[in-house]
Amino acid sequence: METIAIVGVGLIGGSFGLALRRAGFKGKIFGVSSPASIQAALVMGAIDAPISLREAAQTVDVLYLSQPINQILETITVLAPDLHPGALITDAGSTKQVIVKRAEEAGIAEQFLGGHPMAGKEKRGVQAADAELFAGRPYVLTPTTSGTTLHEELKSWITAFGAQVVTMSPENHDSTVASTSHLPQLISTALALTLADDPNPFASNIFGPGLIDMTRLALSSPDVWMSVLDTNRPAVRRALTRFVEYLGKVEIALDKHSDLEQYFSSASEYASRIRK
Amino acid sequence: METIAIVGVGLIGGSFGLALRRAGFKGKIFGVSSPASIQAALVMGAIDAPISLREAAQTVDVLYLSQPINQILETITVLAPDLHPGALITDAGSTKQVIVKRAEEAGIAEQFLGGHPMAGKEKRGVQAADAELFAGRPYVLTPTTSGTTLHEELKSWITAFGAQVVTMSPENHDSTVASTSHLPQLISTALALTLADDPNPFASNIFGPGLIDMTRLALSSPDVWMSVLDTNRPAVRRALTRFVEYLGKVEIALDKHSDLEQYFSSASEYASRIRK
């Protein structure tokens, strides 16, 4: 891998460029993005030069698609006719089945490797990019072909960022993030909405620090989430149904201490486990 | 107010002692607690001396009950017969109606002022006490009598800590915290429980930083929460019902972007508002 083009130089794309550089990548890092993002990314050293999508498809070794999901889908369709046979395309979209399917439909499945870095920040845009964003976090890859040496090289770089590469099927990825990411997002949004609509004026000022944690995800922008949820609806619905079931169990247990204590202790054990 | 006895010298009680001292309180601060907590509180300067509950009731100006709710209830009953007529009792319990009612039943309603500092930490115990714990946070008082000069003095000290004193009825307090505190706690517990029971092994390691926020409250210890929930069950059930309704609306809106965007934006507006 000697050249890479980051398509969509925002928080994730910019961080990928910075992390590559920090890890010792000597090749050229191109960027396909808005003029403002390109300018900021050049100043920060996240990319070396701008490039058009077409030229990137025709010449660059790895294309890294880090746009919102709906744009990733469009980019795949648009670049497919120009893609040179030695290139690898990977992406950073939050759902995988629909994106992988689009690569198949565009006839470039053999050159596509789905990816999803489980990293993020409240802030968006390349200005918030950070070479350490992926460190200590899982980075999911969803290979559907046997892969080339470029696959292996890409994996090595991700590992060099300090991320843990986890290989899963696109289906398993989507059902997992429905529970661990999309469900918490919708819960946070619904909680904030419940309180926003509360006729009690104290619902906006009498609260402890816990509510701040529980509503941080509610600050998320809808434009990112629309296409995430659109491309994972059945799994998100299953996750919501399971959660409501468990919330119902907790409600019933309000009258039965032994059950409620058991629930608190299982929940606490899980919450401790994911912090290790 | 020249003397105060903190009954239950843990995170809240210890912080109250430290905050009083920091704010310039010149009187004597006594502690009623376990030998280990008394020892630690003496070393930290959160209290000046230990005292028995009986002696405190007979001699001290203000008794500050900062125990778990079930113990506050017991303390009220136990100290009532010894209480000298000039004393004020206040508490820091997370629900107010049952505690205020207990003071009435014990015949000391005229000397009782319910309180609830909306402050906390993950860590418990006097070792985690902090003079700044109340700063910038609401501190609810639920007076049910016209009050004495001791009421006013106590309020002035709390204001001197940098806290905002908010006066509410016990009923209004309990219904507010059911929505802003008890509901988020049960949601966090139910979310962690849903994931703990997930047969998918990736549910414990493929997640983003959002899940860490959403499961922090799930780390809470059940022994504190049992008596909180026990003493606020009807309001907690109403809050749960409302939340499930809103979660249902969000679920339906997965098929309708205009509604979903509206929900995300109302939720985000609320989440921003409570951060100001």
Q: A4-25: per-residue pLDDT in tens?
A: 999 999 999 999 999 999 999 9
**Closest-CA residue of chain A to B168:** A202
Q: Does B49 touch chain A (CB under 8 A)?
A: no
pLDDT mean over A130-154? 94
Q: Is the pLDDT of residue B62 over 80?
A: yes
* Cβ–Cβ gap A183/B168 under 8 Å: no
Q: Which residue has the higher pLDDT, A81 or A223?
A: A81
Q: Is the pLDDT of residue A51 over 80?
A: yes
Q: In the prediction, which pLDDT does B203 show?
A: 95
Helix H segments across B112-232?
149-160, 170-177, 183-196, 209-214, 222-230
If pLDDT is split at 50, 70 and 90, which confidence band does A106 have? very high
* Cβ–Cβ gap B180/A138 under 8 Å: no
Which residues on B lie below 8 Å from A237 (Cβ)? Answer: 251, 254
Q: What is the pLDDT of residues B253-271, one digit of tens each?
A: 999 999 999 999 999 999 9
Query: Pick from B138, B185, B275: which is nearest to A206 by CB?
Result: B138
Query: Pick from A120, A175, A191: which is nearest to B187 by CB?
Result: A191
Gap between the Cα atoms of B256 and A20, Å rounded:
40
Mean pLDDT over each residue of chain B, to the nearest integer: 96
Q: What is the pLDDT of residues A54-81, one digit of tens each?
A: 999 999 999 999 999 999 999 999 999 9
Gap between the Cα atoms of A8 and A11, Å rounded:
9
Q: In the prediction, which pLDDT does A147 show?
A: 80
> Which residue of B237, B246, B264 is the best one to mutate when testing the A interface, meaning the one whose CB has the most A CBs within 10 A?
B264
Of the candidates B102, B123, B122, the one whose C-alpha atom is nearest the C-alpha of residue B111 is B102
If pLDDT is split at 50, 70 and 90, which confidence band does B103 have? very high
* Cβ–Cβ gap B264/A222 under 8 Å: yes
- Cβ within 8 Å of residue B239, ≥6 positions away: A194, B178, B179, B182, B183
If pLDDT is split at 50, 70 and 90, which confidence band does B158 have? very high
- Residues B124/B10, Cβ–Cβ less than 8 Å: yes
Computed on alpha carbons and rounded to an integer, the radius of gyration of chain A in Å comes to 21
Q: What is the strand order of the sheet A138-142 is part of?
A: A49-50, A28-32, A3-7, A62-65, A88-91, A112-117, A138-142, A164-167
Q: In the prediction, which pLDDT does A120 show?
A: 82
> Which residue of A180, A226, A256, A257 is the best one to mutate when testing the B interface, meaning the one whose CB has the most B CBs within 10 A?
A180
Q: Is the pLDDT of residue B199 over 90?
A: yes
Query: Pick from A192, A249, A263: which is nearest to B271 by CB?
Result: A192
AA identity, residue B136: G
Taking the CA atoms of A276, A212, A240 and A235 in sequence, report the sign of the dihedral they define: negative
Gap between the Cα atoms of A226 and B264, Å rounded:
10
What is the end-to-end Cα distance of chain A in Å, rounded? 34
Give the gap in angstroms from C-alpha A82 to the nearest C-alpha of chain B: 33
* B85-to-B32, B55, B66, B73 alpha-carbon distances in Å: 20, 14, 21, 20
Q: Does B193 touch chain A (CB under 8 A)?
A: yes
Give the gap in angstroms from C-alpha B235 to the nearest C-alpha of chain A: 12
Give the gap in angstroms from C-alpha B52 to the nearest C-alpha of chain A: 32
Chain A from 203 to 262: CB within 8 A of any B CB: 203-222, 225-226, 229, 233, 236-237, 239-240, 242-247, 249-251, 254-255, 257, 260-261
**Closest-CA residue of chain A to B249:** A190
* Cβ–Cβ gap A254/B229 under 8 Å: yes
Query: Pick from B194, B214, B274: which is nearest to A188 by CB?
Result: B214
Chain B from 116 to 135: CB within 8 A of any A CB: 118-121
Gap between the Cα atoms of A112 and B89, Å rounded:
69
Mean pLDDT over each residue of chain A, to the nearest integer: 96
- Residues A61/A150, Cβ–Cβ less than 8 Å: yes
Give the gap in angstroms from C-alpha A81 to the nearest C-alpha of chain B: 32
**Closest-CA residue of chain B to A175:** B200
Give chain A as a 3 state SS string.
CCEEEEECCCHHHHHHHHHHHHCCCCCEEEEECCHHHHHHHHHHCCCCEECCHHHHHHHCCEEEECCCHHHHHHHHHHHHHHCCCCCEEEECCCCCHHHHHHHHHCCCHHHEEEEEECCCCCCCCHHHCCCCCCCCCEEEEECCCCCCHHHHHHHHHHHHCCCEEEECCHHHHHHHHHHHHHHHHHHHHHHHHHHHCCCCHHHHCCCCHHHHHHCCHHHCCHHHHHHHHHCCHHHHHHHHHHHHHHHHHHHHHCCCHHHHHHHHHHHHHHHHHCCC
Give the gap in angstroms from C-alpha B38 to the nearest C-alpha of chain A: 27
pLDDT mean over B73-101? 98
Give the gap in angstroms from C-alpha B193 to the nearest C-alpha of chain A: 5
